Every structure is written in C-alpha cells, then in structure tokens.
A and B are shown apart, each in its own frame.
Chain A
Amino acid sequence: MGSYYLPHLKELEAEAIFVIREVVSQFERPALLFSGGKDSIVLSHLAKKAFYPAKIPFPLIHIDTGHNFPETIEFRDWLIGNLSVQLIVGSVQESIDKGRVREETGVNASRNALQTVTLLDTLEAFKIDAAMGGARRDEEKARAKERFFSHRDEFGQWDPKNQRPELWNLFNGKKHHGEHFRIFPISNWTEMDVWQYIKEENIALPSLYFSHERDCVVRDEVILAKSEYLPLKEGERVQRLVVRYRTCGDMPITGAVLSNADTLELIIEEVATTRTTERGTRADDKRGETAMEDRKKAGYF
C-alpha cells in the first residue's frame, strides 16, 4: 500500500485499451484484423474488456487464404460465437477465382503475398477506415518503426519515411477521403508479455500452440506440417514429430518447433530460454533482408 504503480502487464493492458477506445472514438468504421494467432486473440480479449458491459462495437475481419490450419478456423468460429461479434471473411481463393491475383506456382509457392490484395479489397468493400492488428514492434525490424496509428494512403500503402510523429498519448487519426489507418494497440508488447498475459487472464488458444504429435516435412531446416497445400520435393519424407507452433500463419509457410511444452507454464519457460525470434520460423520473412518492409509498404498486415 501507499505505492501507486502498475505492474508492467497492467500498464501495457491500460495502454492497449486506451488505444482501442481511441479508435472507436475517432473513426467511423473500425474493424479488428483477426488471423487466429495468439496476438489477435489477445487483441480481441482486450477489445472485450475495453467496452464491457457493451459488446465489441466493430466486426472482426479474417483474411482466409484457404491454406489455414483447420484448428485455426475451428477456434475462430468458437471465439466469434463466444464474443457475439460480427465476422467478415475475405477469401484469397475468391480473389484468385476473380482474377484479382495470380497464384504462385512451384514447391515454395505461398499465398502470403496474395493476402494483401484480398485485405485491401475487403477493407474497401466494407468501407473500413481503421483496421486494428496485433502486430508488435519487437517482431521484426520494419515493425519496430511502426506507429500506434499508422496512416495509409488511398492505395493502402505505408510510407515509412514520412510517418506522423506520435507524442505522449495523443493519437492523430485525421485523414482524407479514401485513406485509412492501421492501428496496433499492442505495439509495445513482447512475445513474453503476450504469453504472460494469456496466462494471467486465462485466455483460450488454438491447440496448435501446445505440444502435439504431427506429420511433418523438414525443408531448409524449417519444420513444415504435411498438408495438401505442400507439394513434396523429391527425396523429402514425412516424419512424425512432437512439435508446437510459436506463430500461426499459413500451413505451407509456418514452421513448427520441436517442443514438449503442453501447458502455458512450460511455454513461458520455453520462451524465456529460447534463442531464436518467433518469426525465425516464418518462410515469408526469409525472402530478403527487407521482406517485411516491402510487403508492409504495399499494404500488408
């Protein structure tokens, strides 16, 4: 008693809730970009807390590549029902069928880059002027330069060299017609903060994050799940491994880690001692030194 300070998780929570409430106050049609990953699950949890006892006053948008883990879709539908919130699904398959994008071919083909077109089309179709995402600055070097309120021009592009200064907790969401904002309420959280918060708040997660047995293919030192979306190269063989996922992207590009951690306690212990970044398991970031910056400029998450 007598000492008035917030423990760090509470301070990060207070900051994120403030940002989410600012979004609803400053924008007409906000939405939350929901990937099914732990960061966007935490974001949904924070949104619920921010407006309780009212319901979350914006829809969740899921950009479905068609290459998701079935566990992710199952969890998404459960969560939507639980929060009684509207879900908008943008389908990459539809973008391909309509000829908006062309599917990559070859063994390392991925729909990762295609998502950007589907995402921008979906935001435009629903006239979304503020899209919240669970990206964090500690994930990747281009993201380290992101603002909480990140301005996008009428083409959905990010201009990293000409960002608005962001001071104190005064967020400027002013924009011209046709422009929109990407908002990152958990910018200041680290992977460890996210896991500690999930434990403290007892937040449900897809089973992928916990240790399980799975048929896998090891390609370029990355452990990939065997699936219909992953054509095998010659000489590759399927192995049964005990793994879990640190991030949750598309099946053909998200690498698993060998792990026996099947509880939050064990995962936190593992995160504390691990020596590689969580995006180190992502093939999409390995396409060049500034792969993330380039995708972000074009309008990626």
Chain B
Amino acid sequence: MSIQENNQLLRFTTAGSVDDGKSTLIGRLLYDSKSIFEDQIEAVKTSSEKKGFDYVDLSLLTDGLRSEREQGITIDVAYRYFATPKRKFIIADTPGHIQYTRNMVTGASTANLAIILIDARKGLLEQTHRHSFIASLLKIPHVVVCVNKMDLVDYSEEVYNRIVADYQAFSSKLDIKDVQFVPISALNGDNVVARSENMDWYEGATLLYHLEHVHIASDFNHIDCRFPVQMVIRPHTLGFQDFRGYAGRVDGGIFKPGDEVKVLPSGFTSKIKSIELDGKSIVEAYAPMSVTMTLQDEIDISRGDMIVRPNNQPNVEQDLEVMVCWMNQKTLQSRTKVIVKHTTKECQAMVKDIQYSVDVNTLHRIEGITEIGMNDIARISLRTAQPLFFDSYRRNRQTGSLILIDPNTNETVGAGMIV
C-alpha cells in the first residue's frame, strides 16, 4: 500500500461567527495547505470586487447558497475538504449564532474534534460557552481552543495565559476529555500552519500539526461488540442457494469468525461463521466497518436486530432518558408522539415528561417547563413502543444516539443523546 492509502480521516467542526475570524481561519488552512484551486480563488476575487470589498473575502468560499451570499452569513452546515501528506480532513463549517444551534449539533454529531475560536481582545464570550457546551454534550472527543487575533494584542503571553486559565476554570464544569490551546493569528498565519516568529514564548504545536497528530484511533468504542443488522442478503442464485448474510456496520467492539454471539431481541446464540465484504473474508471487524456476517446456525434475524456478545449486552428497555436538541418550529410538549430512529431500528414513541431545559449560555437548568422550542436543549423521558438496544451516549456515540421524526410531516425534529 502506498503512504496515502494509510492516511486517517479526521472530521472536525468549527463553530463561530464572521467576527471571530472563523472563515479566515478556514481560508488560511485551505490556502496554506494548497487546497484552494485557482478558479475558486478567481471566482472569490471577482465576487469580492463586485461587492466593492478591497480585500478577498475568503468566507465566500464556504457560503454556497444564493441567500447566504446575499446576506453574507452562513445558514447551513457547509462541508469542506482538504488533505496534507499526513491526513485527510473534513470540516463541518457551522454558523455560530444561537439561532443555528441545530446546525452546530448536526456538525458536531460526526466530529472527532472541535475548534473553538476566542478573540484574544474579548476573551470568553457567551458564544464560547455555547460552543463548548455543545462540544461537551455531543461528546466530541477532542477540543482545540484557538486564541485568535493575537496580532491585535501584541502577541502578549499574559493575555493568552489569562484566557487559557479562564477557559480551564469554565470547562471544568463540562465533560471534555482532551482540550488543547493554541495562540494564533488566522489573518497573518501565526501558528496555523507555520510556527509563529512573533510568539517565542509559545512552545506547543501549531494548529495544523495538532490536527495531523491528535490520536483518534480510540475515538470509536472497540470494547462493547455491537452489530445492528441493516439488511439480510439472500442471493437466490445457483452458487449461493443457502447463503444468508447479515449486512451492517459495526458500531462497537471487535468481531472475529468463531466468536460466540447473541442475537437481540430473540436471545438466540450462535457462532460467527464468516465475516466478509465482496466475497473477501475479514479477520477482524470493528467500527466503522461495513461488512456482511454469516452465522453457523439458521436463526430468524431481520433489520433492526442487533448481534452482540453474550457476556456484554446493551440495555434493552422501552423507557429512556434523553438529552434532546429540538430542531423544529413546532414545539415539543409532553405526550407528543414521535417516530424514533435508533441504529437500524425504527419505532413509535411518546414523550412522557420534560424534565428541564438547559440555558446553553449559562449552563443553568430551567425547571418546570411544559414545552421546548427550536434550538432548545432539554432532558426528556421517552417511552418507545418496542424495546431499543442501546448504550449510554457517553459510552458509544452510535448506539447511544437517536433522532426524532414528526409522524405527520416526516421531518427530522430532534436529535437525542441517551443519558
């Protein structure tokens, strides 16, 4: 295999508004890693000139829709791609305004890492709290706090140290495992891709170095074996008369041929006969691999069932406590009926109770509420029509997450993290 084929993929999210230099930072990463093409730069230059700007507005690179370009704001999550010889990167670029909490949550749901930008002149703001809370709620494994615009505070170590201390004091209330800090100037490129000559006192890594080297191999759960069955493959062809394969994506643990397994909800046990993809056998299957599994015994298995190990089983329950981010104009009340999608399973559910909502700026709980609206984050009790096979979101982001769907409009109205 060539070096490139061994590259890992890092998905990260950036949340912020135009003011804190988010677009400039993304532009800088793309530009310095030579990921912007000439025709893209030309198009952005032309647009900038048309708008009468005397600088090249790199945010035009990420704002794609007509209304976004007209209003000069990001409405929706935009995905950007770049690569270095070390890694491939997917950026989920999300708007940072409170109105767009749902977009931040969307971008965060698949991220390995979150970049949180702080303006060195302003220090911690309400939106810093909001972004950090969402990173913590969505269990993004790694956070990098970029103290930006260091050029505007004379590259002062003191300013930087004070912001780091403030952030550490604040984030001790949150559940973030890995926090790193980098003093940068996105505009001038200090410590983004190249080391800054203006901050001798900083001995840590540049932002890009960190993105290239942060340890992400353990971001998936490789302990608890979870294989939600997506579909059953029955070829009905001469060569494969009796073939019965269970297709799916591993959501946790390591599966090997010969392993004893248990099938939920039936409870039948068997052994793995083979794990394969495209007829090629696989020695070990782990998250996030898509594979086809065959078992030694003929068992009735269908979509929504889960293959696990007998000695390590998920919760099997109909009552769930869920942190939910509400994403729809129509409010959510107690007794509201929804459709739940969880792994490959889908069933009806009812909201039994709204416990409290969280003020995303102060992290305070608001008790005694009867409904939650768009962009609210709340803890609810859910009763499902059938048992779900789940782990806590903290333990497994795949088997611990679910979405809520409005049965009338079919829209995705909520994102849930099982407590």
The answer to whether A binds B is: yes
Is A168 a contact partner of B110 (Cβ separation < 8 A)? yes
Segment at the interface with B among A10-18, A66-74, A98-106, A107-115: A10-18
Segment at the interface with A among B198-206, B226-234, B264-272: B226-234
Closest to A294 in B: B66
Chain A 181-196 near chain B by CB (<8 Å), digits 1 or 0:
0000001101011001
Q: For B344, give its contact among A8, A25, A51, A166 (CB under 8 Å).
A: A25
Is B403 a contact partner of A167 (Cβ separation < 8 A)? yes
A50 beta carbon closer than 8 Å to chain B? yes
Q: For A18, give its contact among B66, B222, B249 (CB under 8 Å).
A: B249
Contact flag A14-B403 (CB < 8 Å), given A5-B217, A21-B231, A192-B83: no
Is B105 a contact partner of A167 (Cβ separation < 8 A)? yes
Is B38 a contact partner of A53 (Cβ separation < 8 A)? no
Minimum CB–CB distance for B177 against chain A, Å: 18
Is B102 a contact partner of A169 (Cβ separation < 8 A)? no
Minimum CB–CB distance for B2 against chain A, Å: 8
Minimum CB–CB distance for A214 against chain B, Å: 23
Closest to A21 in B: B230
Please count how many residues in chain A sit with their CB below 8 Å of the partner chain's CB atoms.
63
Is A18 a contact partner of B290 (Cβ separation < 8 A)? yes
Is A14 a contact partner of B237 (Cβ separation < 8 A)? no
Q: For B65, give its contact among A48, A54, A293 (CB under 8 Å).
A: A293
Contact flag A275-B327 (CB < 8 Å), given A11-B288, A169-B398, A170-B402: no
A207 beta carbon closer than 8 Å to chain B? no
- Secondary structure of the B contact surface, majority rule: mixed
Is A7 a contact partner of B289 (Cβ separation < 8 A)? no
Minimum CB–CB distance for B80 against chain A, Å: 7
Segment at the interface with A among B70-78, B127-135, B147-155: B70-78
A137 beta carbon closer than 8 Å to chain B? yes
Contact flag A52-B64 (CB < 8 Å), given A6-B289, A12-B9, A163-B76: no
Bound CA span A137–B62, Å: 11
Contact flag A3-B217 (CB < 8 Å), given A15-B288, A172-B405: yes
Q: For B9, give its contact among A11, A165, A289 (CB under 8 Å).
A: A11
Other A-B pairs beyond A53-B243, A54-B235, 9, CB < 8 Å: A4-B217, A18-B290, A142-B65, A161-B65, A167-B401, A172-B403, A174-B410, A275-B38, A277-B39
